[in-house]
Amino acid sequence: MDFVLAVAQNAPGRGRMFVRQLVQSDSHQDAAEQTESPEEELYPGHIRTTPLQKALLGVGSTLMALYSPARDDMVAVNGEVTGMLALPWMHRKMLEDAEGQQILREKPKLNSYTVDLDALRSLPEGTLGRAYTQFLDVNGVSPDTRLPVRFVDDPELAYVMQRYREAHDLMHTVLGMNTKLVGEVAVKWVEGLQTGLPMCLGGALMAPIRFRPKQRKDYVTRVLPWALKNGFKGKFILNAYFEKRWSQDLNDFRKEFNIQEPPSA
């Protein structure tokens, strides 16, 4: 509940008032439930929330993400509490694929502690692993910045969300998109269409409002059609066991997953 209150405190204007009212209306019921049937966390860091609290978090995190798009923590929370329908669907997509099944069994993690990034940097040019580290280095990002999942009330689905989150930079790599606004929107379209996560689709729809005229023209004429085609026709990329594919040629990976070459600059 402290986190919910924090969302309320940081939400702008009337949004803050709305969020705080919802917190107050739910606080007595929440306290009673905790007194009657205390439950252990389902996985490390898990925070159990009621449906109303999830709705509250969805509203608060949406308001904050719109007010301050750089708030990755709000985007992460929004993805978790609004993904109740998408996550089971993503899980089924992984169960339907042999490689996806292996990922769910072994539950690998993507970070600098589990992946030897220096070894990937030494791979031949054009391989998936080399391209991944080049993306990290050129864009100044780290695989260690992905927040842990907390609000998903199922350990298996929590892992699916965590895997999606940790694979985001690899999605950029495979699609050939940088971390600038147009690149992020393109990736969000592909992620949203492949996963059904409302957070991705909402970001893809809302973020172009911030485009400058030149960006908007390029986006509408080249980037958006390309992203939609990859989102609809591409193979489900979360079924890629990236850790076993580092030496694979990136172009071969794209062909296997039916991903078109990125539009030329």
Q: What's the CA angle centered on 198, arms 200 and 49, to 5 degrees?
A: 120
Is 91 marked as binding a ligand?
no
* DSSP code at position 127: B
Residue 42 tokens, joined: 């389902």
Report the C-alpha gap between 128 and 136 in whole angstroms: 12
Residues 46 and 120 sit within 8 Å (Cβ to Cβ): no
Phi, psi of 249 (to 5 degrees): -60, 130
Residues 231-247 as b/e (b if ≥16 CB within 10 A, e otherwise) read beebebbbbbebeebbe
Residue 16 tokens, joined: 């803050």
Residues 215 and 144 sit within 8 Å (Cβ to Cβ): no
Beta carbons within 10 angstroms of residue 113's beta carbon: 9
Is 28 marked as binding a ligand?
no
Q: Is 92 helix (H, G, I), strand (E, B) or coil?
A: helix
Is 99 marked as binding a ligand?
no
Q: Which residues are annotated as a binding site for Zn(2+)?
A: 168-169, 172, 184
